[in-house]
Structure formats: C-alpha cells, structure tokens
A and B are shown apart, each in its own frame.
Chain A
Amino acid sequence: MKARVLRILTVTLLLLLAVSSLASARVTITYWTHTHPPMVDLTKELIAEFEKENPDIQVEYTAIPNNQFFTKMLTSMSTGTGPDVFNMSSTRITAYLGSDAVVPVIPSAFGYKNQAELENAWVKGTLKAASKDGKIYGIPSEYNVSALVINAAHFKEAGLNPNNPPRTWDELKKHAEKLTVRKGNQIVRRGFDFFYLPNFYWLDFGVLLGQQGGHILSANGKESVINGEAGVKALQTWYDMVYKDKVAGPQYSLKDSTNPMIDYVNGNVSMFLAYPWSIGLLKDTPVWKDSVIVPLPQMDPAHPVTHAYGYYWMVSKTSKHPEASWKFVNFLSSHPERWLKDVSFIQPRKGWTNLPEAKAFPYIEVWLGEMGKSSFGDMSPYWAEISAAIQRAVENSIMNGVAPKAALAQAKSEIDAALKQ
C-alpha cells in the first residue's frame, strides 16, 4: 500500500517535472507587421500552422497601423521592447542595419549548412537590400517591380492597338496624347499619370532618373547629385506631361495611399503604373477584363533600367530567441504559393516560378521580365529625408510649375543638409 502510494507520488512528481520543463522550454516570439488585411489574414493562418508544427514555439502577432508603424517600432526598439520578428520595407532597412539593431540570418534555422547555401536558395540579387558587409539580415516577404497597366478598351476607343504598347517614354507620351479626353480646360480622362503618394515619389522619380543614367547621391554618398543633367531630364519628362502635353495632372489624382490604384480602377487614367500587389486590387474590379499589363517604358530600350523595392522579415537584436525567430521566418517564407494566391505578393525563393500558382499568376512573364532587369535604387540610411526632399521637389515642380532645374537645386541643398546634420 505504502509502496503504491510512493510509486504514484513519484510518477506524479515526474510528470509534473516533465510538464513544467516542457512549459519552460516553450518560447514566445512576437511578430509585428503593418496592416494589410489579406496579408494579416494569411499571416494568422500560417502562424496557427507553425505553432502546430512547433508546439514549443508560440507566436504573438500584432498588426500595426501603417502610418504609425515606424513610430511604434522606434519607440519600442529604443527600450528593447520591440518585436522579435518584424517586416520592414527595403528603403528603411539601411538605417536599421547601420544602427546594429538587427541580427544576421541563422542558416541552420532554415535547414541550410551555411550562408552561401541560404543565399543560393533565393533569386540572385533579391537579398541585396538586406545585406551588409557580406552578411544577410533579411528575407523578402514581398518583392516588387513596376510595370505598366493599360486599359485596352480605351486604346481601341482611341484607335490604338493594345498589342502594341508604348516601349519608350516618348512613345508613351504620343499614346497618352491620343488617349486623353478633355472637356473645356478640364481633363476628363488622363492618358497616363503617376501615383502622387509619399513613398512613390521616390520610386517614380527614381526610376526616371535611373533610366537617364543618373543618381541621387554621389559615388561616395557624401553629397547629392540629384540636380545633374540626368535629374533635370528625368523631372522634365514628368513636367512636360503635365504642362506641355497636358495628359496628366496631379489635381485629378485621389492621392489615397490606402488604394493607389483607385484612379485607374475608376477609369480616369488609361495607362498607369502597376506592381505585383496591384493585381490584388484590380482583379475583382470591372476594369480588370480590359486591363493588360506590359513592361515599364524605358528611356533607352537597349539599356533597360527598372527599380525594385521589397519588404523583408528581420530579427531584432534584442530578441532572446533568434533561432526560433528565424525558424518562424523560414516557415513564413516556405509558402510562396499562398502569398501569391491570397495576397499577390511575389516571394523570390528559388523555384517559385515553377509553382502552379506562379504559372497562374496574371502576366507572370511580364513580372519575370521586369524582375530580370531590376536593381535596387540608391539606398541610404537617410532615405526618409531624401524621399521627403524628392517629394517636395516634385510637388514644387509638378504642382507649382517651378522649373525642374530650380526645384532639384533646392532638393540637392536639402539632401546635403540632411546628410551633414
């Protein structure tokens, strides 16, 4: 009797010990992203699956309103209360890398022997935005290149052939002239236009600049060369569309950063910029059946330039569980098919092009073609300030009618001041 009680006690004790050690082995990692409903939904699904597969890891997920994402990130990171894993745009990464706020990937958490093997698992060049001194700090959750979406119905109305889209900006202007519908001094339908949204000024102007062979910063990164000949030509292209050809106009743009494609969806623009995520915004709208996606026009088709930007999963330096965190990132990035299908995000993990979902993704050949030509534009830890200076210059020129040269000279002095402070 006594022996039995003792045995039961011992077993219970052992069980308790086992349970408690299991409980203590269970780690919790926090994960933050900006809000984007389809992405949030898929993320929650994937987390549930990940937790099932890894009962020892628990993920606490928070989606943070876009406009305040960096406010919350910075405040939290400054006190070491930031998330273990977060998602950040390539433009912002440089500042975080320079400040030593994140840790390099742990290849073994991905099942790779070393960094070289991991690097080899992603399409060449796509990890560059999150690399520093030969180390990799981030894994892409979305990789974006720009293309052109054209409204075939408008093309036919204007007597243009949608199968023969503009290949250069000069051709685009000629097409836009024919596509633009005017009523008195007002434009009813713009032939082409840009986004006029904070982060996109940098992208739109940046790619025009790149195609002219220009740069924002000098080779040593110490000063801005934005107002060089290439820069002036680039902004002039945009300026002429508004003031000379009158096929575009910032006032007609809804400038709604929560839905950049809205002007095109409304049928108020015939040719518009598009990104892979645009598909998600277009495919359920009435204009989708008339839409064709074609490569981005070039200044010089013989030397094509197009810019990429992306979002990357990173792990904070303050994380107590970097191994588990990277394991989680590996899980998230192991389902490119679902990111494509549910959220229209391209994740360039090698082999993604062979997936049936990739083959079914609209205009996949165009996206692949653009990705092949793409590179990241000028990166700098001062990106946010540079981007704001570019926005002011474009607004000053495009909205106020100031000559591109003068507007860019102001941008140069602003950027130079920002670099010095």
Chain B
Amino acid sequence: MKRIEMKFGLKNLLVYALLVGGALVVAFPFFYAISTSLKASYDIFKIPMEWIPREIHWENYVVPFQTRPLGRNFLNSVLVSTAVTVLNVITCTMAGYSFAKFRYYGRDMMFLGVLATLMVPIQVILVPLFVLVKALGWLNSYAGLIIPAGTSAFGVFLMRQYFQTVPLEIMEAARIDGCGELRIFAQVVMPLVRPALSALVIFIFMNNWNSFLWPLLVVSRDEMMTLPLGIAAFESTYSTNFGQLMAVSLISTLPVLIAFLLLQRQFIQGMALSGLKS
C-alpha cells in the first residue's frame, strides 16, 4: 500500500514538473515582451540584451494613451466585437439548429456551401467584398465593420455539432404541447446549448478583436478605427517605439484573456460535447 502511494506521489511530481516546464517555455516570450515593454526605445536592441531592464519605464503604459486616440479605438473595438459576437450568436445558433434538427430540401448543400467558404483565403475575397460594401454605402461606418462579419462558418459548424447532441424528443414533446417553433428554439433548446455558446462567444470575440485587414480597408477616419489599427499606427517607416508598442499590445490582449478566464469551464464543456460527435 505504501509503495503505491509513493508511486502516485512520484507520478504527480513528474506531472507537475512537466507542466511547470511547459509553462516556463510558454511564459518565456511573455516575460520577454513584458521586459521589453518597460524599456526605453534604444535599450531594447542593446547587445547583450538585458533580461530585466536597468531603468524601468512605466510611462510606456501611459504615454500611448495620452498621445493617441487609443481610448476611442478601444471603445470602437469593444462595440464592434460585441455587436459581431451578438450577431454571430443569433445567426450561427439558428443555422446550426436548422442544419442539425430539421430536414428539408437543399439543407446539406447549403451546409456544405457554408463549410466551403472556410477554404478560401481571405485576402482575395477582400476586394469584391469591399466593392459590395461600398455599393451598400457602408464604408467608414459601424455597419461596414460589423455586418459582413455577422456570421461565421466555423460558428455554424460548431453549433450544428452541438445541436446534434440534443435529443429530438425534447422538441417533439414541446410541439405536442403546442409550442411554436420560435418558442421551442428560444425557450426549450437554447438553454440546453449554453456551454457551446461560450465556446462560440470566445472564438468569435477573439477573432474579431484581433481583426486587422478588413477594418483597415473599410475605415479611413481616425474616429472609426479599431484597436489593432490604432496600434499599427505606432509602427512607422523610420522609427518605432517598441517599448510603447509592446505595452499597448499587451494591454490589448487583456479583454479576451479575461473573457476566457470567466468562461473557460463552460468553453471546455461546450467543446467537449460538440467535438465528439463528428
């Protein structure tokens, strides 16, 4: 008995050792990024490099917000990413529900068509998409930033997988009780797929929060720019303040990280149930 306990102790120790080792490897670039974010511009490229800055420049975290409209950029990003996420939750759950739980002509073709859009490199469709958005009069507007991103093939796929785990009987029972389809969807089925929703929310929010190329094309006015565009303005032809760039970049990842922290258990649960039925 004692031997077994010891064995377990050793095993756990090994697990911890591996995890800590892995964590160190993962954390190393962050350590370097944080160290860089606290350096003066010219100290960053000093050879040999300083692991911990000789002089610490906390102002790198403050100055950018004073000299550039990053606050406004941040608000724009929050607004756009939230709106996109809400739209996706609506369109992807509805479509996923439809593809998983209904039978009608053309269903599988539509689903395949949706999946096929995943396989086209985004850069080339940017131009025709831009032409379309221009024709709709959405350049330099929130509509132009939000609506084209309002649904996602990956989201539809994810929700379809998850809805397949919901037993048909629940819907049938509700129908027999005389519930309308919309009510079944909103009040009977939706509560069952909450874990998958957190997976969807994180995925969509994250992608949109970091979205760069599309906002760059659609927006030409400073007051409409999102955070990634605001950060890109730090880079310049002949000189960049890397310390400030790092500082702002690190701050910009916080919202998504916090979202993950809050939703991670549901996120994993959501993935767990949807991923297994392929």
Query: What are the residues of chain A within 8 A of B46 when measuring CB–CB?
Result: 266
Inter-subunit contact A75/B217 (CB<8 Å):
yes
How many angstroms from the CA of A34 to the CA of B237 in the assembled complex?
Answer: 8
A62 CB within 8 Å of chain B: yes
Contact mask for chain B residues 106-147; partner A; CB cutoff 8 A; 1 contact, 0 none: 000000000000000000001100110010000100000000
Name which residue of chain A comes closest to B219, CB basis: A62
Query: What are the residues of chain A within 8 A of B237 when measuring CB–CB?
Result: 34-36, 66, 257-258
Inter-subunit contact A258/B127 (CB<8 Å):
no
Q: Which of A270-297 contact B (CB under 8 A)?
A: 277-278, 280-281, 285
Inter-subunit contact B233/A254 (CB<8 Å):
no
Looking at B46, B131, B139, B236, which has the most chain A CB atoms within 10 Å of its CB? Answer: B236
Contact mask for chain B residues 204-221; partner A; CB cutoff 8 A; 1 contact, 0 none: 000000000100110011
How many angstroms from the CA of A259 to the CA of B241 in the assembled complex?
Answer: 9
> Which one of A30, A71, A280 lies within 8 Å of B220 (CB-CB)?
A30
B58 CB within 8 Å of chain A: no
Query: What are the residues of chain A within 8 A of B126 when measuring CB–CB?
Result: 75
A63 CB within 8 Å of chain B: yes
B222 CB within 8 Å of chain A: yes
Query: What are the residues of chain A within 8 A of B232 when measuring CB–CB?
Result: 35, 65, 67-68
Inter-subunit contact B236/A266 (CB<8 Å):
no
Given contacts A60-B221, A81-B134, contact A258 B139 (CB under 8 A): no
B240 CB within 8 Å of chain A: yes
Name which residue of chain A comes closest to B240, CB basis: A258
Inter-subunit contact A78/B236 (CB<8 Å):
no
Contact mask for chain B residues 151-169; partner A; CB cutoff 8 A; 1 contact, 0 none: 0000000000000000000
How many angstroms from the CA of A76 to the CA of B220 in the assembled complex?
Answer: 10
Inter-subunit contact B239/A65 (CB<8 Å):
no
Inter-subunit contact A266/B217 (CB<8 Å):
no
A260 CB within 8 Å of chain B: yes
A27 CB within 8 Å of chain B: no
> Which one of B134, B213, B238 lies within 8 Å of A259 (CB-CB)?
B238
How many angstroms from the CA of A32 to the CA of B219 in the assembled complex?
Answer: 12
Inter-subunit contact B235/A72 (CB<8 Å):
no
A160 CB within 8 Å of chain B: no
Contact mask for chain A residues 176-197; partner B; CB cutoff 8 A; 1 contact, 0 none: 0000000000000000000000
Inter-subunit contact A75/B130 (CB<8 Å):
yes
> Which one of B134, B229, B238 lies within 8 Å of A36 (CB-CB)?
B238
Inter-subunit contact B235/A281 (CB<8 Å):
no
How many angstroms from the CA of A63 to the CA of B222 in the assembled complex?
Answer: 9
How many angstroms from the CA of A262 to the CA of B126 in the assembled complex?
Answer: 35
A79 CB within 8 Å of chain B: yes
B1 CB within 8 Å of chain A: no
A207 CB within 8 Å of chain B: no
Query: What are the residues of chain B within 8 A of A76 when measuring CB–CB?
Result: 130, 217, 220
Inter-subunit contact A262/B45 (CB<8 Å):
yes
Name which residue of chain B comes closest to A252, CB basis: B47
Query: What are the residues of chain B within 8 A of A285 when measuring CB–CB?
Result: 42
Inter-subunit contact B45/A66 (CB<8 Å):
no
A91 CB within 8 Å of chain B: no
Inter-subunit contact A79/B235 (CB<8 Å):
no
Ranked nearest first, the 9 interchain pairs of A and B with the lowest CB-CB distance are: A258-B240, A65-B232, A36-B236, A36-B237, A62-B220, A79-B134, A35-B236, A259-B239, A75-B130
Q: What are some 19 contacts across the A-B interface (CB < 8 A)?
A: A35-B233, A35-B235, A36-B236, A60-B220, A62-B221, A63-B233, A64-B216, A65-B232, A65-B235, A66-B236, A68-B213, A72-B216, A79-B130, A256-B45, A258-B238, A258-B239, A260-B238, A261-B238, A266-B42
